[in-house]
Copies of this chain bind each other. A is one copy, B any other.
Amino acid sequence: MPTRSEEDHIKAVYTLLQEGDSAFTKDIAERLQNKASSVTVMLKKLAEKGFLKHEPYYGAKLTAKGRGFALQLVRRHRLWETFLVERLGFGWDEVHEVAEQMEHVKSEKLIDKLDAYLGKPHFDPHGDPIPDKKGVIRERKTRRLDSCAAGDHVRIAAVSETTDGLLRLLDSKGLRIGTSLMVQEVHAFDGSMDVKPKSGSAFSLSKDVSHHLQVEKGKP
């Protein structure tokens, strides 16, 4: 049974591999607010315990065991985030840190019951998929909003960054998971775009913002 620090490292590796295709010591260290040397030591230990393969100087890859473990952590994290937002009334920009603590509570039964209580949700408040008990993630075909062209009709599926600033900005513009948009115009010089929500008037989004919005096709 991994310690809390071990769990954090496994999850960091998983997340980095999701975002790109590599998990380097430096990036893991940055994410965990640790020094690289500490991470090296930890990776060696986790490799011995069979959670990952550590190729010195070339980063880490998860084993099946490590991946399964990481998926349970992600599941726990996202279920708690869902609980905090949907039941306790937290804003979606406030839940990350708390869920980060709750995900380490060890009780399989607790997660089973929480899952049932929330209605076995497939997505968390940021639109990220929640792995099921077996670690299976239901896939959606989404693209980044900044890859869309004028005239596209789309629905916001997920927000791929969870910094407080971005989430509050979206909130203030009335942009939520599920909000339908039409892309009116894309400005080549700075990548900003004008979008019009189904209900409400049009406004502009900078590339910084549209880059982090995952959307799926809506009806045209």
Contacts and interface: CB of A to CB of B under 8 A. Distances in A.
Interface in A90-121: 90, 94, 97-98, 101-102, 104-107, 109-110, 113-114, 117
Interface residues of A, number: 19
B97 A107 contact: yes
Nearest to A114: B88
A220 interface: no
Contacts of A106: 101
Nearest to A102: B105
A89 B113 contact: yes
A87 interface: yes
Nearest to A112: B88
A101 B109 contact: no
A37 B87 CA distance: 44
A100 to B, nearest CB: 10
Contacts of A105: 98, 101-102, 105
Contacts of A104: 101
A113 B97 contact: no
Contacts of A109: 90, 94
Interface of A: 84, 87-90, 94, 97-98, 101-102, 104-107, 109-110, 113-114, 117
The 10 closest A-B pairs by CB, nearest first: A88-B113, A101-B105, A98-B107, A98-B110, A88-B117, A102-B105, A89-B113, A87-B117, A88-B114, A101-B106
22 contacts: A84-B110, A87-B117, A88-B110, A88-B113, A88-B114, A88-B117, A89-B113, A89-B117, A90-B109, A90-B113, A94-B109, A97-B107, A98-B105, A98-B107, A98-B110, A101-B104, A101-B105, A101-B106, A101-B107, A102-B102, A102-B105, A105-B105
